[in-house]
Homo-oligomer: A and B are copies of this chain.
Amino acid sequence: MSKAANTRLTILHKAFELIYSKGYQTTSIDDIIATTQVTKGAFYYHFKTKDEMGIAIIEEILKPTMQEHFIKPTESSQNPIEDFYNMISYLLLEDPFLQVKYGCPVGNLTQEMTPWNDKFSGVLAELVDLWKKTIINSIEKGKTSGLIRKDVIGEQVAFFILSGYWGIRNFGKLQNDNSSYLVYLKELRSYLNGLK
């Protein structure tokens, strides 16, 4: 990788970490260049504006990560119910990057940037839609393979699962411990079993 491409990526990664922990608005360009050791000239060579960088983070960091970790595994799923549970459980309890007190990066950005920034809304909506569609597909497969009841409606379940995930992430932030996660996961299990 060229040196230039490298500084660009450092900016994106460090900025993402800062934004994940502090929020987009409260993360200043000065914050970013201070932690990256990159000068302002370099920053503005790579990104015309702060928002352009924000969008790049979503497109180039969040999107690929999500594709790799959640979309792909779910696509190759044989047992949707089990996999949904494992996906959420992994995200809540095991993912090494995500932290209870900082919530869900996508959820945070959605909350903070919509409704007043259409560009952010657009790319975030795409991202979430991808995830949603994958879940719906997985449910349909489960229905044909007999693992899921035929009267279950994929879109409804997808919204229900993802909403629950976003919401409990907020509880985690509020209490700053994962006890709420554990309680939530038990009910998720019971809900998912109801789809069989």
Interface residues of A (CB under 8 A from B): 22-23, 25-26, 101-103, 107-108, 110-112, 114-116, 121, 124-125, 128, 153, 155-157, 159-160, 162-168, 170-171, 173-176, 180, 183-184, 186-188, 190-191, 194
Q: How many identical chains are in the complex?
A: 2
Asked if B102 and A115 sit within 8 Å, CB to CB, the answer is yes
> Are A159 and B184 in contact (CB-based, < 8 A)?
yes
Q: Can you identify 20 A-B contacts, CB atoms within 8 angstroms?
A: A107-B111, A107-B167, A111-B173, A115-B173, A125-B175, A128-B174, A156-B183, A156-B187, A159-B171, A159-B180, A159-B183, A160-B164, A160-B191, A162-B171, A163-B166, A163-B171, A165-B167, A166-B170, A191-B194, A194-B194
The residue of chain B having its C-beta at the shortest distance from the C-beta of A155 within the complex is B183
Contacts of A125 in B (CB 8 A): 174-175
